[in-house]
Amino acid sequence: KAGVTQTPRYLIKTRGQQVTLSCSPISGHRSVSWYQQTPGQGLQFLFEYFSETQRNKGNFPGRFSGRQFSNSRSEMNVSTLELGDSALYLCASSLAGTYRTFFGPGTRLTVL
Amino acid sequence: AQTVTQSQPEMSVQEAETVTLSCTYDTSESDYYLFWYKQPPSRQMILVIRQEAYKQQNATENRFSVNFQKAAKSFSLKISDSQLGDAAMYFCAYSHYSNSGNTPLVFGKGTRLSVIA
């Protein structure tokens, strides 16, 4: 069974631009979560989607948004990029009723 | 709010030796899960081991085992017979069940483990 996939793997943007990251969960997983990883703040939860509905949301500004499609694929969008948004963005999926979360390889976003 | 603390930013171990990584957490929940994740230089987060709080028996996965002390809110990871491939960042994480499903993972800051040949 294929793992969690994320595209693109690397991205370079400039301040003020917007970006969309994509995540395909493991087949059958309906829960998709996003995390931001930076050297200073560590791993921080962004949001979680389950069956196309946002179920949990972390403490991030409204510039960060996401959505989930009927096939469980998820996208996250960051508008008006700031230098501090440079990070590794990790997507994770899990099967309902389990405590096993599987992570994708991440998207490395660099904001110049 | 739940917190996870890893007090050792860096650790090193000789190949074939044993090393223990520390983790403490804070929660008011009684039913929760604790995890150790490994993140090698490739950045792929891999689940190493999981412990259910209601289980008294410590979890083991091959060379990896935990020492779960619920009263002390301590959850350490022991790696036996360390191998070069064990070199990575190790994150301790917490989650518990809520009415809307599993809560998001709360991670510690991580411990960078080096394995010396």
> What digits encode the pLDDT tens for the residues B79-106?
999 999 999 999 999 998 877 777 899 9
DSSP output for B15-44: TTS-EEE--EEE-S-SSEEEEEEEE-TT--
Interface contact B108-A42, CB threshold 8 A: yes
- Write out chain B residues lying below 8 Å of A89, CB-based: none
pLDDT tops 80 at residue A1 = no
Chain A contact for B33, CB < 8 A? yes
- A21 phi and psi angles, rounded to 5 deg: -110, 145
> What digits encode the pLDDT tens for the residues B33-64?
999 999 998 888 999 999 999 998 999 999 99
What local confidence, expressed as pLDDT, does residue B6 receive? Answer: 97
- % pLDDT > 90, chain B: 83
- Write out chain B residues lying below 8 Å of A105, CB-based: 42-44
Q: B40 vs A8, B35, B50, CA distance in Å?
A: 20, 16, 18
What local confidence, expressed as pLDDT, does residue B98 receive? Answer: 78
DSSP output for B77-93: EEE-S--GGG-EEEEEE
Averaged pLDDT of chain A:
94
Interface contact B106-A45, CB threshold 8 A: yes
Chain A contact for B89, CB < 8 A? no
pLDDT tops 90 at residue B117 = yes
- Write out chain B residues lying below 8 Å of A45, CB-based: 104-106
Interface contact A43-B33, CB threshold 8 A: no
> What digits encode the pLDDT tens for the residues A33-57?
999 999 999 999 999 999 999 999 9
